[in-house]
Amino acid sequence: MRWLLWGVGLLWGQDTLHLTIAQVEARFLQKNLLLLAQKLRIQAEQALVWQARLWPNPQLVVDQMDVFTQAEASFDAGPFLAAPRINQISATLSQTLLTAGKRLKGVALAEASVRLQEAAFAELLRQLRYQLRGALYALQRDQFLLGVLREQVALLDRLRARYKALSQQALVPLPEYLRIENLYLQVQADLRDRYRQWEENQHTLRTLLRFSGDTLLWIDTTGFIQAQLNEALRLDSLLLLVEKRGDVRLARETHHYQVAALTLEKAMAFPDVTVDVTYDRLGGYRLNQWGVGFALPLPVFNRNQGRIAAARLLVEQSQLTYEQTRLIAESEVVRAWRQLVALQAQLREMDFALLARYRQAEAAYRENLLAGRISFLAYVDFFQSYRDLAQKIAETFYLLHQAQNEIGYAVGMDR
């Protein structure tokens, strides 16, 4: 277990990066693979907008070429060269004309799809940033507690060595030495558990920040344990920000997409017109015959009724989904705001210098214990309260940072 005392900082040849929270977030925006993948998806949708602006290509059809008929020519040129001079041939050049504004409505649908993917990016960023900050604050808490626990284990290690020697000389009762040994093992167990949580947060950050598997992060804990009691924003102001939240924006853009899809489906009920120009040689009453024509399907049976009905239902469904998503978002804002206000009220009553005074008092208690001026049980009781206080203070400030993170997550904006 001695490697835990010093080994959390002894990273055995592994790359260790010392970063601030601002540096971590900057790398997250640049390196996170999921964000980069979603940006490519947005670019792909933008390319489809370009595609939607294009007209259908014209079509050229050439037929009625009898290449195996021998031609009567003054020179032996072969049928492939002689045939076009006297054989039948026809050609048709046609162009489809989109009616009812289908092209512009297709462009509008493609543009709605771009906005939909941009909203999906905002929601992905909101989710990943919440996960990132939660892991960062947990890592700061774990680093702080690892330092405190290593210090406590070192103190108990010296004390138990002293008590072991005194016990062997029958100068202190054996149960007192055993009690110190048990307390030492309890703090070691706390250190193991905290190190395990630290490793879990390291794993989360490595995946979010795209670091190699052997990289370890050490986050600057300056300001982690300090009073951060700025007044919370007014609840009504926070509720106004809900409309910009990622999932609300995604639900809203989904509704807009379905409205654009319904508009296009209605336009699809109108048949497109194909116009053509034809040329025919030796196929009619004249040697070279030109003509024009058009074609369109007659909307007798299929007027796109089913797709239009389905699109209307999807519009109604997306509207209900949007309203439900907004309702959930508003409720989450209220919950996060109340949690933050409650934690700030609790911290206003906390003595921030208490942990430092406990650390100083522990040294005095230990000196008095060894001098025989206080009882063994009094020291053990004080040390356990010192141990519990450090964990409670670190957990309280972690909860405060996390509550602020919850506010940013609930309103969908960077705080």
Q: Do residues 397 and 260 both lie within one domain?
A: yes
> What's the pLDDT at 66?
67
Supply the range of the domain harboring residue 296.
Answer: 56-97+270-301
Whether residue 296 is found in the same domain as residue 314: no
Regarding whether 316 and 242 lie in a shared domain, the answer is yes
Number of domains in the chain: 2
pLDDT recorded at residue 19: 84
Q: What is the pLDDT of residue 81?
A: 47
CATH number at residue 187: 1.20.1600.10
Residues 89 and 25 in one domain: no
Note whether 70 and 185 are same-domain residues.
no
Residues 164 and 262 in one domain: yes
Q: Indicate if 110 and 138 belong to the same structural domain.
A: yes
End-to-end CA distance of the chain: 41
Residues 134 and 283 in one domain: no
Confidence at residue 234, expressed as pLDDT on a 0 to 100 scale: 84
136 and 228 inside one domain: yes
Q: What is the pLDDT of residue 108?
A: 96
**pTM reported for the whole predicted model:** 0.83
- Beta-bridge partners for 295: 274
CA-closest candidate to residue 132, choices 211, 187, 50, 66: 211
Q: Which residue shows structure tokens 């009553």? A: 349
Strands 273-281 and 288-295: antiparallel
| Dist CA 378 CA 123 (whole Å) | 54
Considering the domain architecture, whether residues 51 and 75 belong to the same structural domain is answered as no
State how far the alpha carbon of 59 is from the alpha carbons of 62, 292, 293, in Å: 10, 14, 14
Along the 415 residues of the chain, how does pLDDT read in single tens digits?
Answer: 443 434 444 444 456 788 888 888 899 999 999 999 999 999 999 999 999 999 999 999 998 776 665 555 444 444 444 444 557 788 999 999 999 999 999 999 999 999 999 999 999 999 999 999 999 999 989 988 898 889 888 888 888 888 888 888 888 788 888 888 888 898 899 999 999 999 999 999 999 999 877 778 888 776 666 655 566 678 888 888 899 999 999 999 999 999 999 999 999 999 999 999 999 887 777 778 899 999 999 999 999 999 999 999 999 999 999 999 999 999 999 999 998 888 888 888 777 778 778 888 878 887 887 777 777 778 888 888 888 888 888 888 888 888 889 998 998 876 5
**Distance separating alpha carbons of residues 140 and 146, to the nearest angstrom:** 10
Judge if 286 and 371 occupy the same domain.
Answer: no
281 and 344 inside one domain: no
380 Cβ neighbours under 8 A, 6+ residues apart: 179, 180, 183
Predicted local confidence at residue 316, as pLDDT: 97
pLDDT of residue 13: 44
